Chain A
Amino acid sequence: MLSRVADSLYWMSRYIERAENIARILDVNLQLLLDLPTLDPKRRNALWEPVLRATGDAFEFYQQYEVATPEHVMEYLILNEKNSNSIQHCINAARENARHVRETISVEMWEELNRVYLDLKHVTMDDIERQTPSEFFKFIKDGSHLFQGITDATMMHGEGWEFIQTGKFLERADKTTRMLDANEEVLLPHEKKGKVREPLMLNAILRSCSAETGYRRTYPGYVESDKVVDFLVLNEFFPRSVRFCVYSLDDSLHRISGAKDEHFTNQAEKLSGRLISEIIYSTVDDILGRGIHDYIDELQMKLNSIGSAMATTYMAYSEEAAASPAADAKPAEAKSASAPATTTLPASNQSQATAAKAVVA
């Protein structure tokens, strides 16, 4: 498979998954606010902070807006042209990547992605208000689910499909960790335990990860913060837990290279294998003992370095790029005073970076 094709498949998949996650996070937060009608405006706005942190956009957001009002955050994360992680931008980028590899993906996949793109193309915030935001988010989430289902059902489960899986699971793991990090306050065991708000917030976190049903079947009874952490990071069967995602990622990496289980033939496999071991031999007490934020921060850096190693191994276009790690997606840490530290999203895409050059035609 062409390296460029692998790169486009990987990013197509990441961007779809990213759009879906942003839609879900926004949707849940809107629902949550409905349950808190008595909150004063200032504290209502404060509830949008974790959303910005979970999507990794807080720093950029405050370059454009002073206050995180619901309107601003929604606009910024849905349609904002300057935000390279807005839902619209993600869908455009996914479709653009798909356009580069139309001969590789199935006709059905292209048509579904193109449908979402066309439907979204002229949407305004007014339209979204009119049809209700939750309908809009459903459209995005359905589009992503449908696309992933069509992918499973119509595309050859060969190398290209595996690259799609790696993109999906890396993005998903990243978003789940961000949800935890952004809500650190709620999840930490502290004195205010038992306040009315807490179960509401914990449920919202679960719903943001589509984890409500799975969690309830695993842990009947009251929602507790340590169990939520346990479930979202360490659960073996929940498809959005960090453990599940890293396992699936590792599987795909092995199928791509043909390496045997528990062996590695390149840096990406080595890093993913190592991360799996760490996760298997961790308990929720280890995580809470280290502090959620520190633990997650490190986890995210490890996920990012797997992505970088994949780019070096499979997607580098030239020997020069392969030799110098500087050419990789560089997930630097963006720490600022206003936004608690979160690593920025890896969002460099070679197809896009070189797109401008190709226009010469």
Chain B
Amino acid sequence: MFTPDGNPRPHYKALLERIEDMDREEFDERRAAVDNSFLRQGITFTVYSDDRGTERIFPFDLLPRIIPDKEWRHLEAGLTQRITALNLFLHDIYHDQRILKEGIIPADYILGAKHFRPEFMHFNVPKDIYIHVCGSDLIRDKDGTYYVLEDNGRCPSGVSYLLENRQALKRIFPAAFEKIGVRPVDDYCEELRNVLTYVAAPPERGNRPTVVLLTPGVYNSAYFEHSFLARQMGIEIVEGRDLVVKDKKVYMRTTKGLQKVDSIYRRIDDDFLDPQVFRKDSVLGVPGLVDAYRAGNVSLANSIGTGAADDKAIYYFVPKMIKFYLDQEPILPNVPTYLGANSSDLKYMLENTENMVIKAANESGGYGMIVGSKATKEEIEDFRDKVKADPRNYIGQPIVSLSRHPSYTDGHFEGRHIDLRPYILYGEKITIVPGGLTRVALRKGSLVVNSSQGGGSKDTWVLYGDA
């Protein structure tokens, strides 16, 4: 937001002028009004560790992050390149496995990966799209370079907060919006619906495709988002028990009998989708769903088995994939990464744990990771033991000094670490909603931005111009 000498960067000027017009009281009032309206609208997430299933609002910081047009174009190009490569990679590993045969990625990295689904070898997914919705986490270094921190190619969440944050800020800084020229984000849900319709299985006799959102239910931490997206898209939100499979076709139980479903935006992990194929104890899924999917009678977004591409160990190979499939240099670099499975890397990780972030390959949401510089000696020792026991499951990264952004905490502005999760949609074409969810580590000094770990969010403004 500010240059090193303390002057506001040009694209922040207009906003700062607006904020300077407000006195502290006015600012506090607006902030409280936003919190209140979030709570009232039920824009909340559920905290699992709390046995009462408490709903909390996702803390929201009023100060937006601003991205000038030029910077955004760069991100857009990089993310488009990345999702294209990831889709080619998934097609490849579920068909000819060229990338393994040519030794670019050692075969056991894929074949032994938890989220690789050998059951789907040689299966052709509708329109050859695997990852329809991708949320890639980006961070920025001190020098302003953007790095990809991880790709979320299974069920990335958070887009509803992006959309609601925008609604909130429009009410708070209406004048600033007009003056600064912020690109709207409103058409995300329309685009998502287009993607889901594009890949839909053929509907019954001349009907339009029936698209639904499959949720684990109201107790899922992201339930608000599921119902929000269903409402915005004007589609039904269904739970596993609302669906039934007959003759390899999926139907939903309605008051007028069974109605065929052609496209499912599923917000349930592979493991829980179909108790006949995956976890037998899943009560969230739909028995027979996978059969129907295989028969081509229903489509799933994202496809089954995409987890093989967002594994944190596979992440290491994404730049190589880009080179291999597209013959291009990656536009957005990875954060330097050490692989537990690689013995020299493992040695480095164990010797330098204090200065690294070490993550379990298959965990998400800030679980199963350690930030060396913030951990106690015992925590580090414990974690080292875990890594030694199952090195394949861990990666290490240097502690990147995440860029900081002024955030309003306890009555004044202070720098807090942030990241950025843009949302990429892959249908007939690739679209990226201008902006993304900027997550902020609200605890002073903290580097963890996940909502389950004390993170909050900001609105993200992509400008029409550069200032």
A-B contact pairs, 7 of them (CB 8 A): A3-B242, A3-B255, A103-B235, A111-B41, A314-B255, A355-B219, A361-B220
A156-174 at interface with B (beta carbon < 8 Å): 159
Contact A102 B255 (CB under 8 A): no
Identity of the chain A residue whose Cβ is nearest the Cβ of B268 in the assembled complex: A361
Min C-beta distance of A281 to chain B, whole Å: 32
Q: If A4-B253, A110-B42 touch, does A355 touch B218 (CB 8 Å cutoff)?
A: yes
- How many chain B residues touch the partner (CB < 8 A)? 33
Contact B42 A357 (CB under 8 A): no
Contact A360 B237 (CB under 8 A): no
Identity of the chain A residue whose Cβ is nearest the Cβ of B284 in the assembled complex: A361
Contact B217 A2 (CB under 8 A): no
Taking each of B237, B239, B255, which has the highest tally of chain A beta carbons within 10 Å of its own beta carbon? B255
Contact B231 A103 (CB under 8 A): yes
Contact of B284 among A1, A102, A317, A358 (CB under 8 A): A358
- List residues of chain B with CB within 8 A of the CB of A6: 255
Taking each of B53, B216, B231, B238, which has the highest tally of chain A beta carbons within 10 Å of its own beta carbon? B231
Contact of B217 among A5, A315, A317, A361 (CB under 8 A): A361
Min C-beta distance of B288 to chain A, whole Å: 14
Contact A102 B241 (CB under 8 A): no
Contact A114 B40 (CB under 8 A): yes
CA distance A354 to B241 in the complex (A): 10
Contact B255 A159 (CB under 8 A): yes
Min C-beta distance of A2 to chain B, whole Å: 5
- List residues of chain B with CB within 8 A of the CB of A318: 244, 253
CA distance A96 to B242 in the complex (A): 18
A48-79 at interface with B (beta carbon < 8 Å): none
Task: Beyond A358-B218, A358-B220, A360-B284, list 12 extra A-B contacts (CB 8 Å).
Answer: A2-B242, A2-B253, A99-B223, A102-B228, A102-B231, A103-B235, A103-B237, A114-B41, A118-B40, A357-B283, A358-B219, A361-B219
Contact A102 B219 (CB under 8 A): no
A153 interface contact, C-beta 8 A: no
Identity of the chain B residue whose Cβ is nearest the Cβ of A350 in the assembled complex: B241
Contact of B216 among A111, A159, A314, A361 (CB under 8 A): A361
Identity of the chain A residue whose Cβ is nearest the Cβ of B256 in the assembled complex: A1
Top 5 A-B pairs ranked by shortest CB distance? Answer: A358-B217, A361-B216, A103-B231, A102-B227, A103-B230
Contact B227 A3 (CB under 8 A): no
- List residues of chain A with CB within 8 A of the CB of B228: 102
CA distance A110 to B218 in the complex (A): 15
Which A residues are within 8 Å of any B CB, using their own CB?
1-6, 96, 99-100, 102-103, 107, 110-111, 114-115, 118, 159, 256, 314-315, 317-318, 354-355, 357-361
Interface of B is mostly: mixed
Identity of the chain A residue whose Cβ is nearest the Cβ of B282 in the assembled complex: A360
B344 interface contact, C-beta 8 A: no
Q: If A103-B231, A317-B241 touch, does A1 touch B40 (CB 8 Å cutoff)?
A: no
Contact B254 A2 (CB under 8 A): yes
Q: If A355-B219, A358-B217 touch, does A2 touch B236 (CB 8 Å cutoff)?
A: yes
CA distance A96 to B53 in the complex (A): 13
Min C-beta distance of A97 to chain B, whole Å: 10
CA distance A358 to B219 in the complex (A): 7
CA distance A196 to B216 in the complex (A): 61
B449 interface contact, C-beta 8 A: no
- List residues of chain B with CB within 8 A of the CB of A357: 283
CA distance A355 to B53 in the complex (A): 12
Q: Mark B211-230, 1 if CB is under 8 A from A, else 0.
A: 00000111110010001101
- List residues of chain A with CB within 8 A of the CB of B238: 2, 4
Min C-beta distance of A155 to chain B, whole Å: 13
CA distance A3 to B258 in the complex (A): 10
B303-338 at interface with A (beta carbon < 8 Å): none
Contact of B218 among A5, A100, A360 (CB under 8 A): A100
- List residues of chain B with CB within 8 A of the CB of A159: 255
- List residues of chain B with CB within 8 A of the CB of A5: 236
B111 interface contact, C-beta 8 A: no
B32 interface contact, C-beta 8 A: no
- List residues of chain A with CB within 8 A of the CB of B241: 4, 317, 354
Contact of A317 among B216, B235, B253, B283 (CB under 8 A): B253
